[in-house]
Amino acid sequence: MNTGCLILAGGKSRRMGYQKSSLRLNGTTFLDKLIFELRDFPEILVSVDDAARHPEIPYSMIDDRYSDCGPMSGLYSALSVCESDALLVLPCDVPLFSGTLAHHLQEVMKHSDTDALICVTADDRIHPLCGIYRKSCTPVLKRCLDNGNLRIMDALNNLKVHFYHVEEDSWQLQNINTPEEYQKLTAKSCLAISGFKNSGKTTLMERLIPELIHRGLKVATVKHDGHSFEPDSPGTDSYRFWQAGVSASIVYDNDKYSIVKREPLQESAIARLVGDADLILLEGFKWSDYPKLILLTGSDEQNNSLLASASNCISYITADFSTEQLIQDTPVYCRDNIEAIADCILQHYHNGNLKHL
């Protein structure tokens, strides 16, 4: 089966108040990001209400054959003219959708004798605009349009459909419909690695960072020094400049740079300073309201203090596998169980529970 792709970008975006296909995530528009993820498919079409009204879209566009008839018209119009046997259909407002999931759905559909494959998320929500439609759907879609019935679900009721549960990939189908949802999407995710001194915070972060990078995240770190740190080694040029009283000092080479400023760090500046990092790991911050992993590897008095007073904990970390059980309905992991800890972090990351900055 030859499968192409259709991105639906003809909506009015009334709730957003702005064309959603042009919204940006990490500097890339939603539409460009989806096109990149789907780049291996032989045919990619973009459905719009009127191609002449969208000079900003540099891709192959399909005009709606039925005006003001919503996504059903876009789907019908694309299936009527596409060269592919079927189309993977996505709205333009799912910027987290990955090429990996797209190819997985394609493989599932290859072994299905249905007219359509429709994604269902872990909350049992059906996503009729996230799935694969064969050309065999065209007559039913046309009949619905001719009758003025624009509900995709009504069309699906007259087709043979495979409702496919995407389970752990449900986060990839998150629709961004409102300014509030967009603000949450673009906020930086922060997670504090918290505990008392010598509890193993740095070692845990050192082991987690490569695992999280391997899982596809760009990771940044922030450490608060309770004492006044020296910005460079004594005797170096930049150290001498700092001692002389400069307000800011920059050291750089062809691959990296470091900047030190003589002023307090404002929380609002952290997101800007870490650039396109997906996740900021904060070392310490045990009494803050940041989401956190709490290391219960100190004395009983220290551990009890953390259990009683530290807030917003997504998981407790202990020194022994035998202690992996729930504490106050919160999961517990041994500090050596790095993969399980990373799984926990990614679950909260994808669910948006770590959003802060």
CA 98 to chain centre: 10
Considering only the top CATH level, what class is 3-179? alpha beta
Annotated binding site for GTP: which residue ranges?
Answer: 8-10, 20, 64, 93
User: Please, what is the end-to-end C-alpha distance for the chain in angstroms?
Assistant: 45
Long-range contacts of 335-343 (CB under 8 A, 24+ apart): 335/200, 335/203, 335/204, 335/295, 335/297, 338/207, 338/208, 338/211, 339/211, 341/204, 341/208, 341/293, 341/315, 341/317, 342/208, 342/211, 342/212, 342/215
| Residue 250 DSSP code | E
**Domain segments of the chain: what residues?**
3-179, 187-350
β partners of residue 47: 8, 62
Please identify every stretch of the chain with a pLDDT value under 50, giving residue numbers as ranges.
none
Looking at residue 27, its pLDDT comes to 86
Q: Which CATH superfamily is domain 187-350 in?
A: P-loop containing nucleotide triphosphate hydrolases (3.40.50.300)
Q: Report the distance separating Cα 306 and Cα 44, nearest Å.
A: 53
Integer-rounded Cα radius of gyration of the chain: 25
Looking at residue 330, its pLDDT comes to 93
Which residue type, as a one-letter code, is found at position 336? D
Annotated binding site for Mg(2+): which residue ranges?
Answer: 93
Annotated binding site: which residue ranges?
Answer: 8-10, 20, 64, 93
Looking at residue 126, its pLDDT comes to 98
Say if residues 6 and 47 touch (Cβ distance below 8 Å): yes
In three-state form (DSSP H/G/I as H, E/B as E, the rest C), the secondary structure along 13-72 is CCCCCCCHHHCEECCEEHHHHHHHHCCCCCCEEEEECCHHHCCCCCCCEEECCCCCCHHH
